[in-house]
Amino acid sequence: MVNKHYVAGYDAFVAFMKDFNDNGSPVNVLFTGAKMENGESWCSDCVEAAPFIENAVASSAPKESHFIYVDVGDRPTWKDMNNPFRKDKNTHLSVIPTLIRWKNPQRLEGEQLTKTELLELFFSEED
């Protein structure tokens, strides 16, 4: 079973990753907009991609892998060009949603996350 983790905000993300022990398993990180009171993200692209991502995690992600959901904040926080997620050399985000393989080059962004075949390929690639 894929190990799922949830983190909100940059400082919490940095602290989580600093202490995180992946036991040698693949670590996939999804950056998405914060959820509103209705349970959906303010980011319409994130909402559109969510079912594709969930299906791919369930069907294609290695069973011993980790999947970390990271809330990058509300819309004004994300739109700030000085947002630390944009500046961090490990994340270097320019759009959300973005899915990365931690400390590896694999990356899907925006509408790529609505393409089942790209998601399957992402999860099947070895580090």
Catalytic residues: 43, 46
Sign (positive or negative) of CA dihedral 75, 76, 79, 85: negative
Q: Please, which residues bridge with residue 92 across strands?
A: none
14-60 pLDDT per residue, tens: 999 998 888 888 899 999 999 999 989 999 999 999 999 999 999 99
Q: Which CATH number goes with the domain that contains 21?
A: 3.40.30.10
Tell me the CA distances in angstroms from 119 to 4, 22, 57, 76, one per residue in order: 17, 21, 9, 29
As a whole number of angstroms, the distance between CA 85 and CA 25 comes to 24
Boundaries of domain holding 62: 3-124
Number of structural domains in the chain: 1
77-97 pLDDT per residue, tens: 999 999 999 999 999 999 999
